Amino acid sequence: DEDYLRYRTRSVAYLGDILTANGVPIVQPPGGHAIYIDAKGMLPHIPPLAYPAWALSLSLYLEGGVRSVEIGSVMFGLHPDGTETPAAMELVRLAFPRRVYTQSHVDYLAEVILHVNTLRDQIGGLRIIEQPPALRHFTARLEPLSGAI
């Protein structure tokens, strides 16, 4: 359905345009299925191994119920020998499910992300307190480094 495909890619681009115009760093150009927020750029005060993308993802959920996924050092930083290095990027992925979001959903996403952006200096890092030996990004437990996210 070409009309739907145009609507979907335009919705993603619309959100990308709003975020970019308001200083939220995203991966450019926006794709046809997701927006990727550059958490390292948005939260430069959080070191990579304090998981800025995870902290941003949590903040989006706590402030507005927005579900997203971290693509960064929690997902890719742990090596088989148990050592950890920062991932190359700290991203938060906001996927657009097929035939789910309306224009009002996209406007709400923009509102929540821009609100969280105003709080960015108050968002703190995290530490992992429990993790499985593999695929930790699915079931790891984290806590704030300083008492609040």
Mean pLDDT (whole number) for 57-65: 96
pLDDT of residue 14: 95
**pLDDT above 90 covers what percent of the chain?**
62
Output the 3-class SS for 2-47: HHHHHHHHHHHHHHHHHHHHCCCCECCCCCCCEEEEEHHHHCCCCC
Q: Is the pLDDT of residue 96 over 90?
A: no
Which range among 17-21, 77-81, 121-125 shows the weakest confidence by mean pLDDT? Answer: 77-81
Quote the pLDDT of residue 148.
61
Ordered by where they begin, the domains of the chain are 2-144 (3.90.1150.10)
